[in-house]
Amino acid sequence: MTEQPARSAHRFRRRATPLAAWFVLAACGAATRPFSWQATAMVAAAALAGMVLAFRVRIERPPSTARLRRGTAVWSALLVAASAWEVYALLRQPALNRPSHEHPTLSTLLDPALEQWPLRFAGWLLWLAAGWWLVSR
């Protein structure tokens, strides 16, 4: 009879712990100054954690179809193009920690919208949620 409350408490902790970590990481990230080494370290730590989780999971390969290959090719091309734009814009900036309006990166373009703390916090929550969604698929 006491197993049921213990099981539900364990299930609650299993769900609440990552959720609490998500909020704490977003709050810490939102508290950093944009383009600072602290913000870069937070992004790098979150990305590294996501990569560790992604490579830890066993991948089930779907059957290869012409539609899947076309979709993979299109999304890969878009990802490569967006990444190339980001790298080009980043390397054209006067300094890596100073944004350039002549060669804006995605972070530079989003910075005015994410200036206020609540919006920065929401931005971090969305970024972390999108990363988790990508890692868990």
pTM, rounded to two decimals: 0.68
CA distances from 24 to 27, 49, 54 (A): 5, 15, 21
Could you give the 3-state DSSP secondary structure of residue 63? coil
Whether 133 and 118 have beta carbons less than 8 Å apart is answered as no
What is residue 77's predicted lDDT score, i.e. its pLDDT? 96
What is residue 2's predicted lDDT score, i.e. its pLDDT? 55
What is residue 63's predicted lDDT score, i.e. its pLDDT? 84
pLDDT tens for the chain, 137 residues: list them.
456 666 777 777 777 887 888 899 899 989 988 878 898 898 898 889 888 877 876 677 778 899 999 998 999 999 999 999 989 988 888 887 778 888 888 888 888 888 888 999 999 899 888 888 877 76
Q: Where do runs of H (alpha helix) occur along the chain?
A: 3-31, 37-56, 66-92, 106-110, 117-136
What is residue 13's predicted lDDT score, i.e. its pLDDT? 75
What is residue 4's predicted lDDT score, i.e. its pLDDT? 67
What is residue 14's predicted lDDT score, i.e. its pLDDT? 75
What is residue 39's predicted lDDT score, i.e. its pLDDT? 86
What is residue 122's predicted lDDT score, i.e. its pLDDT? 93
Strand partners, 95: 98
Could you give the 3-state DSSP secondary structure of residue 113? coil
